[in-house]
Structure formats: structure tokens, C-alpha cells
Structure 1
Amino acid sequence: MNFNILAFGDSLTWGSDHQQGSRHAFQDRWPNVLAAGLGGAATVVAEGLGGRTTCFDDHMSPSDRNGARILPTLLGSHYPVDLLIIMLGANDLKPHICGRAAGAAAGIDRLIEIAQSFPYGWGAAAPKVLVVSPPIFAASRAADGLPAGGRDIAESQRLAAEYEAVARRRGCSFFDAASVAKASVIDGVHLDAENTRNIGLALVPVVASIIKTSS
């Protein structure tokens, strides 16, 4: 059985390299590290967009960053999806977007609801869902020392507990990326190549276990 995974996220999934002002190499982006680590046991489709939120509009972007609005389209494009990995919330914590971990958690809850209730065709079942809370923000090298966009470090520290509670209630799996990755001090939000690889490597046994229980 070919196991299909959709990795749904923001610039941390896209592979934004703020040190070089570009994108991390293909082999360093966590969805591709995950795919390599699974050794052909699964296909991983990376759907990362810089600035994407869980369910909030950001009208300052030329693209639609509202995750809840685009997820149904992606589910329709890529089904059958056996596992949906969601790693979002860092952009929800921008003050002008939401700013609160509780709001991001509510958005995660909405995304799970969409995934579990979408009318998949050809008898396809709803995917399992793995919720990944993003790494905690760090003090940056900016003059004010704040993470990019005026985000609050303390709110980012609350994400894991909030997300785990939502995942448990919805019957989903959970992983805390802060347990293996740290944000770069360049802007306090994004990851260097090593830390984005760390997420992919850490998810290999988590996802392998999900695949095993699904077979």
C-alpha cells in the first residue's frame, strides 16, 4: 500500500532560509527529510506557504493565507490522503492577526474538523491527522529583541499544551517540534537548515508508527 501524506504548513514547511534570504535546499526541508527517512514507505506532498495562518485572513499578502479556506481545495486535489500533518500557528501569533495561542488552537481545531468531515470521493476515508506545534520563538537580533512581526515569545510557549489538548479531544496524534528544534536568533521565528532537518528526522518514528497501525 502506498501511504500518502500531506504536509500542510507555512514558511517553516516551505523551507524559508532567513539567513540567506532564500529557501533551504530540497534535502533540508522537513517534509523531504521525513520522506527520505521513511525509505519509500510513503509519499509526502509538501504544501507550505509563507505567512499561512490556521483560519485567519491576512489582506497584506498577494496570496490567500487563510488555511481553513484553502485546505478543502488541497484535500480535493490530493486525496486519497492517509495522513494530514498540520504545522501552523506561528503566523496566527502576529499581533495584527490574532496574537493568542488560544486563537491558534481554535484554528487547529477548525482544520481538523475540515479534514474529518470533507466529502472525499471514490469511497476514500478521512485521513488521520498529526498536529505539530511549531518551535518556540526566540529573542532576535533586531533592535527591540522581539521575534519578527512583534510576536510574543510567551504565547508561542503556550502552543504545545493548547494543541495537544485539541489533538487529544479530536482523536489525533500530536508532536511538539520545540522538543527538537529552536528558532534562529536572526528573526526569532524561522529555522536554520539543521533545525528544519531535525523536525523531519524526529517525525520519522512518529509517522512510521502511524503507518504501521494503519496497515
Structure 2
Amino acid sequence: MTRILAFGDSLTWGHKPEDGTRHPAEFLWPNVLQQELGVEVISEGLGGRTTVFDDHSGPCCRNGAKVLPILLHSHSPLDLVIVMLGTNDLKPTICGRAEGATAGMKRLAQIIRAHPYDGIGQVPKVLLVSPPPCVIGPDGVTGGGRDVAETQRLAPMYQQLALDLGVAFFDAGTVATTSAIDGVHLPAKDTASIGSALAAPVRELLNL
């Protein structure tokens, strides 16, 4: 069976902007994508996950580059890895700049392509997804003090990165809008919309 790894942060995990609990399973974008395509989509979302930056303020390792090789091996064989990260890179205490997130996404793509699969699977295809931009929350700032303008820079920079690397790209901000409740996370319907919108490009990418 075709197997896809969805690698992301709280937007993939399904963080409710109202209270931080998890959206019901039927709204999570990896689950929606799985339902749409009839293939296996493995959800690997972790709140606070970055592309390549350490963040020791959380309860576990949030550095995506450190855990990705483990996941590539444990979930192989994989046909596709979808990476939607960068929002947490833009916390001012971590990086704060879209250039840093873009460099991190480049490194993750390199890890996926260069991983020693050693007979457990072929090198999977890569789809880079830019997360929906943050918005101003009710307190006049975004969660974690992110700069909204920097979050808006991710989509064009990720798109150019994908072109440079020869991998696929999708802008989740074209189908989902961040909730003003906290300025960072997505309502249930917008979370689901990402999974529905990814179905067509993934079908084309994998010839499903």
C-alpha cells in the first residue's frame, strides 16, 4: 500500500485555538487526506516542533532534524514525505526570520533524500507545505510574539526553495485561515481543508 508520512507541528497534530486540546480525528488533515486517497497517511505532528532549531522549553525534543531520520527508518517504506513546518521557527526566542525557516526546510529535504534506507524502501518524494500565516490575536499580538509579516514570507520562499530542489510545493494559506482566537492555530474546518486540498496534488505526484 502507498504510505505517506505527514511531518509537522501543532497544525498537523490538530491544536484547538480555543483551549489547546485536539480537534476530533475526522478534522485532522492527515486523516482527511487518507480518507480522500484511500492510502495510509502517518500523522507525525508535535506541538512546538521546529525545522532544525533546538527548543528546550518544552517537555521533549522539538528539533525536527533530530527526529526525522528515526521516523524515516521506523515508517519505511515511504512513497512521500509531506513537511509542514516553520511557524515555530518564527518565535523570536528561536529564530524569528523566514530565512531561518527556509534554510531549515532545505535541510529537512536533504535529510529525506540522503537517508540510508538500505533496502527497507526507496527514497520517497518530498512535498513542502507552507503553513497558513499567523494573524493578530485578541491581545494585539500573535502567540509567542511572532511577526505576522515574517509568517507571510514563508509561502513565496518555500515555493522558490521547492523549485530549486526539484520537489513539490503547496501553500496551505490558500485554503486555510488562522484563528484570531490565538493568532496561530487553525479552526477544525480549516485543518480539514488542508487535507482535502492536498488530495489532488498528491494524486498527481504519486500517480494514484
Instruction: Give the alignment's TM-score, normalised by structure 2.
Output: 0.98
Contact 2:7 2:43 in 1 (8 A): yes
1:176-195 matches, within 5 Å, as: 176-195=171-190
> Which residue of the partner structure matches residue 106 of structure 2?
109
The letter for the 2-side match of 1:112 is A
**Distance in 1 between the 2:169 and 2:161 partners?**
9
Deviation at 1:121, TM superposition (A): 2.3
Q: Secondary structure at the match of 1:17?
A: coil
**Distance in 1 between the 2:119 and 2:203 partners?**
26
Unaligned 5+ residue runs, structure 1? none
Deviation at 1:18, TM superposition (A): 2.1
Match 1:150 to one of 136, 145, 151:
145
Deviation at 1:211, TM superposition (A): 1.7
1:72-151 matches, within 5 Å, as: 72-122=69-119, 124-142=121-139, 145-151=140-146
Q: Secondary structure at the match of 1:23?
A: coil
Task: Find out whether 1:29 has 2:28 as its counterpart.
Answer: yes
> Which residue of the partner structure matches residue 6 of structure 2?
7
> Which residue of the partner structure matches residue 53 of structure 1?
50
The letter for the 2-side match of 1:204 is A
Deviation at 1:122, TM superposition (A): 1.5
Deviations 1:118-177 (A, max 9, x none): 0002262111000000001111012xx111000000001100111111111111000000
**Distance in 1 between the 2:32 and 2:17 partners?**
19
Q: Secondary structure at the match of 2:90?
A: coil
The letter for the 1-side match of 2:198 is L
> Which residue of the partner structure matches residue 175 of structure 1?
170
- Quick one: percent identity of the two aligned structures? 54
**Distance in 2 between the 1:25 and 1:32 partners?**
10
Q: Secondary structure at the match of 1:65?
A: coil
Q: Secondary structure at the match of 2:88?
A: coil
**Distance in 2 between the 1:7 and 1:209 partners?**
17
Contact 2:7 2:83 in 1 (8 A): yes
The letter for the 2-side match of 1:23 is R
The letter for the 1-side match of 2:99 is A
**Distance in 1 between the 2:188 and 2:127 partners?**
23
May I ask how many residue pairs the two structures share in their alignment? 208
The letter for the 1-side match of 2:32 is V
After superposing on structure 2, the runs of 4+ consecutive aligned residues of structure 1 that deviate more than 2 Å are none
Deviation at 1:21, TM superposition (A): 3.2
**Distance in 2 between the 1:90 and 1:156 partners?**
7
The letter for the 2-side match of 1:104 is A
